[in-house]
Amino acid sequence: MQRDVNQALAREFGLSADEYATVLQIMGRTPSLTELGVFSVMWSEHCSYKSSRVWLRQLPTKAPWVLQGPGENAGVVEIGEGLAAVFKMESHNHPSFIEPYQGAATGVGGILRDVFTMGARPIANLNALRFGRPDNPVTKRLVDGIVRGIGGYGNCVGVPTVGGEINFHRAYDGNPLVNAMTVGIARADRIFLSAAAGVGNPVVYVGSKTGRDGIHGATMASAEFAADSEEKRPTVQVGDPFTEKLLIEACLELMETDAIVAIQDMGAAGLTSSSVEMAGKGGVGIELDLDKVPQRETGMTAYEMMLSESQERMLMILRTDRQELAAAIFHKWELDFAVIGHLTDTGRIVVRHQGRIEADIPLAPLNDKAPLYHRPTTETKKQEPLNATRIEDRLGLGAALERLIACPDLCSRAWVWDQYDATVRGQTVKRPGTADAAVVRIDGRKLALALTTDCTPRYCAADPEEGGRQAVAEAWRNLTAVGARPLALTDNMNFGNPEKPEIMGQFAAAIRGMAAACEALNFPVVSGNVSLYNETQGRAILPTPVIGGLGVLDDAATAVGIALPPWLDIVLIGATKGWLGQSLWLREIAGREEGAPPPVDLAAERAAGDFVRGQIASGLVRACHDVSDGGLLVALAEMAMAGGTGARLSVHPRDIPGHAFWFGEDQGRYVLAVPEAGMVIRAAEAAGVPAARIGTSGGRDLTLPDGATISVEALRNAHTRFFRTWMG
């Protein structure tokens, strides 16, 4: 590729006129093609966060247990016993739409590398997926390909996939979301960072060879799709989980030594971003000799090598005297190991190829003068709360329940989980579908992590601030519901085109709501990812700020699940007003998507959660489930199906219509199964938390307060029907 570098090419590379003018000013001359490529990917939305940075700063990121907040490859929190959890979530939305299997697979691979780069052994994967309408013919192919891709990669590397979520909505028809999260465990005093240091130290390339795949992937991920997304297939990378597995083992083996000064994976923008960021953070210069880069294709140009997003590659700065030791480890694992440059004191990145200098850029302005936009925002218009008494229930509780638990957003996800290895490593205490959060024990200890991903996009669309608050609260609630102490979260902000004020307004409001919830729940953000331009032909996705929550249990044996055992009292914790606005009942049964979403009272949330966690710790709670999508009756049905036990419900609420009481989505609530309700209710009263006995468990049927009964068997049949019939 030999092209004249000018403003037209810069625009093609995604740089605005102003941005290109800054490039010219920094360089003092017309940049080379390679240099323009470097600027364009470093300043892409994907790498520079130029539209989101001003807002992300508002998020709380500190707590005594936070060892590393945002800005590194992943976040790190102390979990006790000298150990740290390293975790992050990242999107692979654009590639997964273009090429579902490889897009999703490489999404898993990329986030795994972000975690083991820091010295952590990956112990769990989760994924949050959003798809368009099931009756859109494209959706089935995307679900199938993305699920296969996630499984294909995660199963092969031997990291259990333990949780996640799936939603369907027409707003994702042209832009499915694939958000992958990895959690790893490291020694708290052995965390590896990316700031390069030590002039003269070798720059070492390890892993797979470089090919022409994924060139300009970061730029592709920073623009809307038009109708030509198919043509973008060459920008998607191809995954090799086998090499990734070797890379994990080789890196962790090397990390047992003192050879590594700094390390970073080659993710988006490949060699460019890893070298520029490592040298930039360390305040040093870096010189690369591309002739030394392992290549799997011939005749590659400097531009292609610098922008390739070939997978399963890492860049390391090693101590000069440990180079041979490191090489021996990588050769044992049959991986490429090449010294491709060294650190300098020039503060510049210099790229040589075939005897020519292909790029020579000062790093400080490349990093510091990256564009930062305070884009205009407009607030989403608030909707009035819906008056539940004015919405007629034409169906009755039993029929509505059967329809709700069968709808795509609430039905069993077993078809999906059954393709993900959730048990490899032998430490999975709560598998998908058995508890509100996955629980994974630390090998050889009692200590365990609780993990969840959460977001309710329809709430976010109706009121982004409330939706942001709710997403954080629900993650915190799900961790609490297994008995864990929530510690911190990672976020994956999926939005439309930030150049539109209404989209930027959604973003700003969601951040505001998230920040308030993080603050109130002492639940800081330690890592995250922003995916903008999720639009096709001008239509944006629902605002989807996905929260990946992490909590800790000192003893895995104390974790509780949702499976309802027989002959217990069922107690509802938290206040019920019958909030039907934006509920799934309203959408699926009444056919309306409207009203303000349920508000989250953060003080009540905190009180209820702390109370429930205390009850679980006291050993009295046999099952616990938070009340979320679908409301109370759906939560009870899920507990009954998981436990294979029925229940008799005995509440007749005054002041609230029955359908609003049983299907309303009021926040901050939990259902507990306990041997004796009285004790729990008295303790709740003392803690100022609303609590009421709503029934007893046992038998094979769910008996509703209006006398109708549904067998647990019938519930299960309805619950598993959708995927069974859709996917065959």
- The DSSP element (H or E) to which 26 belongs, if any, is helix 17-27
- Ranges assigned E (strand) in 195-320: 202-207, 260-265, 285-289, 313-318
Minimum distance from CB of 255 to another protein (Å)?
Answer: 18
The contacts of residue 705 (CB under 8 Å, 6+ apart) are: 397, 649, 650, 651, 652, 658
d(C-alpha 116, C-alpha 87), whole Å? 10
Inter-residue contact 316 to 260 (CB < 8 Å): yes
Stretch that binds another protein, among 236-244, 471-479, 512-520, 672-680 (CB under 8 A): 236-244
Out of 19, 240, 277, 629, which residue is the one contacting another protein (CB under 8 A)? 240
Q: Provide the minimum distance between the beta carbon of 696 and another protein in the complex, in angstroms, as a whole number.
A: 27
Residue 619 C-beta: closest distance to another protein, Å:
15
Q: Binders of another protein: how many residues, by CB under 8 A? A: 33
Q: Is 260 in the site for another protein (CB under 8 A)?
A: no
How near is the Cβ of 461 to another protein at its closest, in Å?
Answer: 33
Computed from CA positions of residues 473, 478, 481, 487, in that sequence, does the dihedral angle turn out positive or negative? negative
Nearest of 618, 634, 498 to residue 562 by alpha carbon: 634
Closer residue to another protein (CB): 148 or 209: 148
- Told to check if 100 binds another protein by CB under 8 A, we report no
Alpha helices (runs of H) in 64-131, residue ranges in sequence order:
93-98, 100-116
Among 185, 246, 493, 516, binds another protein (CB under 8 A): 246
Task: Note whether 164 binds another protein by CB under 8 A.
Answer: no
533 binds another protein, rule: CB under 8 A: no
* Of positions 130, 245, 342, 469, contacts another protein by CB under 8 A: 245
Distance between CA 325 and CA 429 in Å, rounded?
38
Residues 325-344 interacting with another protein (rule: CB under 8 A): 333-334
Extract the tokens encoding 141: 């192919």
Is residue 557 within the footprint of another protein (CB under 8 A)?
A: yes
Smallest distance from another protein to CB 728, Å = 9
659 is catalytic: no
For strand 83-91 and strand 177-187, is the pairing parallel, antiparallel, or unpaired? antiparallel
Confirm if 547 and 527 have CB atoms less than 8 A apart: no
Q: Is 418 in the site for another protein (CB under 8 A)?
A: yes
- Give the interface segment with another protein, choosing from 110-118, 414-422, 472-480, 606-614 (CB under 8 A): 414-422
* 4 or 334: CB nearest another protein: 334
Q: Using the minimum distance from each CB to another protein, give the nearer residue, 424 or 620.
A: 424
Residue 419: CB minimum distance to another protein, A: 5
Question: What is the distance between the alpha carbons of residues 219 and 9, in angstroms, rounded to a whole number?
Answer: 13
Is residue 31 near another protein by the rule CB under 8 A?
no
| Token duo for residue 203 | 């720059």
Residue 441 within binding range of another protein, rule CB under 8 A? yes
Q: Does 421 bind another protein (CB under 8 A)?
A: yes
Catalytic position from the list 92, 94, 216, 353: 92
- Sign of the alpha-carbon torsion through 512, 514, 518, 523: negative
Site string for another protein, 129-148 (x = CB under 8 A): -------------------x
In the complex, minimum distance from the CB of residue 432 to another protein, in angstroms, rounded to a whole number: 10
Active site residue 92: yes
Using CB under 8 A as the binding rule, whether residue 157 contacts another protein is answered as yes
424 binds another protein (CB under 8 A): yes
Nearer to another protein, 428 or 582 (CB): 428
Judge residue 382's burial from the number of C-beta atoms within 10 Å of its C-beta, 0-12 exposed, 13-18 middle, 19 or more buried.
exposed
> What is the C-alpha to C-alpha distance for residues 669 and 642, in angstroms, rounded to an integer?
19
DSSP string over 394-413:
-S-HHHHHHHHHHSTTTS--
**Taking CB under 8 A as the rule, does residue 583 contact another protein?**
no
The binder of another protein chosen from 70, 151, 631, 695 (CB under 8 A): 151
Place of tokens 């976040």: 75
Smallest distance from the beta carbon of 618 to another protein, in angstroms?
Answer: 20
Which of residues 399 and 727 has its CB atom nearest to another protein in the complex? 727
Least separation in angstroms between residue 330's CB and another protein is 13
42-77 burial, b if ≥16 CB within 10 A, otherwise e? bbbbbbbbbbbeebbeebbbebebbbbbbebbbbbb
Q: Which is nearer to another protein, 427 or 470 (CB)?
A: 427
Please tell me whether residue 426 binds another protein under the rule CB under 8 A.
yes
Which tokens belong to 514?
A: 């998230």
Q: What count of other Cβ atoms lies within 10 Å of the Cβ of residue 152?
A: 19
413 near another protein, rule: CB under 8 A: no
> Least distance (Å) from another protein to the CB of residue 353?
31
Q: In this complex, which beta carbon is closest to another protein, that of residue 240 or of residue 626?
A: 240
Nearest of 222, 276, 189 to residue 44 by alpha carbon: 222
Helix, coil or strand: residue 165: strand
Q: Does 155 bind another protein (CB under 8 A)?
A: yes
- Residue 585 CB coordination number (10 Å): 27
Sites of contact with another protein (CB under 8 A): 148, 151-152, 155-158, 240-243, 245-246, 333-334, 417-429, 431, 441, 443, 556-557
Q: What are the residue numbers of the active site?
A: 46, 92
